[in-house]
Structure 1
Amino acid sequence: MAKSNNLIGFLNFLSLILSIPIIGGGVWLSTTDCMKFLQWPLILIGLTVMAVSLAGIAGACYRNTFLMYAYLWAMFFMIAALVFFIVCGYSATEKGSGRPVMNRAYQDYSLQDYSGSWLADRVSSPAHWAKISDCIRSSHACRNLHRNVGGVPELPDRFYRRKLTPIQSGCCKPPTTCGYTYMNETFWIPGEGQTGTDPDCAQWSNEQHQLCYGCSSCKAGMLASLKKSWRRASVINIVVLVILVLVYIVALAAIRHNQQLDDAHGETRMRKARPSWIF
């Protein structure tokens, strides 16, 4: 019985420690991808894991039966919520990927590749995109693209060999199909060939506060960046889920074991208290 309680306490201590990176993952999503409305589910799950883990540790240490049963129910609902959150996260970020570009190290991004998902609709909505685009501007993602070699911008061939982030590729330059000519990282002019038919071609502006922040490619780059960050955060969530399931199984077995021992001790006490003349 003591060993079971010690094991429950140890596993809950481990889940308590793992709740910290879950909370950190929620904060990280908001700071890296300008998606603050997605940070709260992760933070809420992390805080719940922390609270339930503390309850499990207390129940194991003090052998409080009521607290342990409440802990089991809370753990069950938390596991179900975490499974739902992981599945929804993967389904929301399942669609879309970058499009390879000939003679370029970076990829282009199209919003059509992400259409139909709840996340794409939410990101591309005017109300949310106004806040997201302002966040991207303030992050200086495009300004950080600039590299001067000998006081002049780097040559086009060197820029084309750079591996840009999805946001840099989608928001800081026009789509490659538009046929713009590179002058520097964030200044492009129409080339000699006919400009492409992509609506983003008309959205591009050399004004540094505008660039392609209103382009569909920028929204697609945002979704691609979010997909990458979300998948990384999901790895932590899956690890925590496995540990929580293990803790739940061990705790359930330990409570049943303790209950059997209590019943056996109670029956033994009754036998000792029974008068010797009663058969």
Structure 2
Amino acid sequence: MGLSNNITSVLNFIAILTSIPIIASGIWLSSKPDNICIHNFRWPLVILGLLILLVSLSGFIGAYWNKQGLLALYLFSMALLIVIVLVLLVFAFVVTRPDGSYVVPGRGYEEYKLDRFSKWLRNYVTDSGSWEKIKTCLADSDVCVKLTQNYITSDQFFASHHISPLQSGCCKPPTSCGFTYVSPILWTNPVNAIADPDCYLWNNDQSQLCYNCNACKAGLLGNLRKEWRKANIILIVAVVVLIWVYVIACSAFKNAQTEDLFQRYKQGWV
């Protein structure tokens, strides 16, 4: 195995290692309640990471055993995967750029407005006819039950900075409703008139809560935005490493062909 193939083997081993955090971040995303309930959002990073792993492994094998055809296929496939990662990155940044959160006076957590998120994200998640399935899935999860395990008094609950967007939107009524706290998922109605339509949708029934509210849809989008922003950091680092590996691998591939031609010339094959 020539020097160029040695270099390519090492580079592909680095690419194999790079695929691991991508797969891990995909598994982390797929384990979140919001992604579990939106099936199309669950596996793209896992699939992408596995493809990078397989392509990098083929490049490693091609370089180690000097299979030039396999190396050429590797270079073509890796270029395609890098383009896909770049497109996914740009798309994810565009659709998650608008932040639908707003600060509530006297509260440690934030609340969310549906119309403050990107139109694509709103349409895909909340206007696609799938919300009935999503809210049923959310109601069957323990996302709201966890609040009752973590908070006892109203002071603890109102001061918390650890309530997720999904919990803020789906597990309690909007603060503007003026409901009285009994527990994180149990509230009593106020006597005064209520302006926010979500206030009429709140129900102390544990299977309903605010799952029909726009605040819940906004909270779901807030969770998705927060999680995908974290995943994007891993993707940025990964794509930088992959581009660096690919550029050097292309150079090494050309050098390997030159070395092979030179060896044939020395042996009298040319």
TM score, norm. by length of structure 1: 0.88
Where in structure 2 are there 5+ consecutive unaligned residues? none
Q: What is the aligned partner in structure 2 of residue 124 from structure 1? A: 126
Question: 1:258: Cα distance to partner?
Answer: 1.7
Q: 1:1-279 to 2 correspondence within 5 Å?
A: 2-32=2-32, 33=34, 34=36, 35-116=38-119, 118-125=120-127, 127-147=129-149, 154-163=152-161, 164-195=163-194, 197-270=195-268
C-alpha distance 199-268 of structure 1, shift in aligned 2 (>3 A): same
C-alpha distance 55-126 of structure 1, shift in aligned 2 (>3 A): closer
Q: Which amino acid aligns with 1:41?
A: P
C-alpha distance 17-138 of structure 1, shift in aligned 2 (>3 A): farther
Question: 1:269: Cα distance to partner?
Answer: 4.4
3-state DSSP class of the match of 2:42? helix
The answer (yes or no) to whether the contact 2:174–2:215 under 8 Å persists in 1 is yes
3-state DSSP class of the match of 1:207? coil
1:73 and 1:193 map into 2 onto residues whose CA distance is 66
3-state DSSP class of the match of 2:92? helix
Question: 1:268: Cα distance to partner?
Answer: 4.1
1:65-122 per-residue CA deviation (whole Å, 9 max, x = no partner) reads: 1111111111111111111111111112111232100011111111011151x22211
RMSD value, Cα? 2.1
Question: 1:255: Cα distance to partner?
Answer: 1.3
2:14 and 2:42 map into 1 onto residues whose CA distance is 23
Question: What is the aligned-residue identity percentage?
Answer: 38
Question: 1:23: Cα distance to partner?
Answer: 2.5
3-state DSSP class of the match of 2:93? helix
The answer (yes or no) to whether the contact 1:108–1:170 under 8 Å persists in 2 is yes
Question: 1:228: Cα distance to partner?
Answer: 1.2
Q: Which amino acid aligns with 2:164?
A: T
C-alpha distance 155-71 of structure 1, shift in aligned 2 (>3 A): closer
1:240 and 1:158 map into 2 onto residues whose CA distance is 40
1:191 and 1:70 map into 2 onto residues whose CA distance is 67
The answer (yes or no) to whether the contact 1:9–1:57 under 8 Å persists in 2 is yes
When Rg is computed on C-alpha atoms for both structures, the one with the higher figure is 1
Bigger drift between 218-227 and 121-130 goes to 121-130
C-alpha distance 227-6 of structure 1, shift in aligned 2 (>3 A): same
Where in structure 1 are there 5+ consecutive unaligned residues? 274-279
Instruction: Give the length in aligned residue pairs.
Output: 266
2:71 and 2:180 map into 1 onto residues whose CA distance is 67
The answer (yes or no) to whether the contact 2:201–2:210 under 8 Å persists in 1 is yes
TM score, norm. by length of structure 2: 0.90
Where relative contact order (Cα < 8 A, 6+ residues apart) is larger, the structure is: 2
1:10 and 1:266 map into 2 onto residues whose CA distance is 25
3-state DSSP class of the match of 1:188? strand
3-state DSSP class of the match of 2:107? coil
C-alpha distance 10-135 of structure 1, shift in aligned 2 (>3 A): farther
Q: Which amino acid aligns with 2:187?
A: W
C-alpha distance 25-36 of structure 1, shift in aligned 2 (>3 A): farther
2:9 and 2:49 map into 1 onto residues whose CA distance is 18
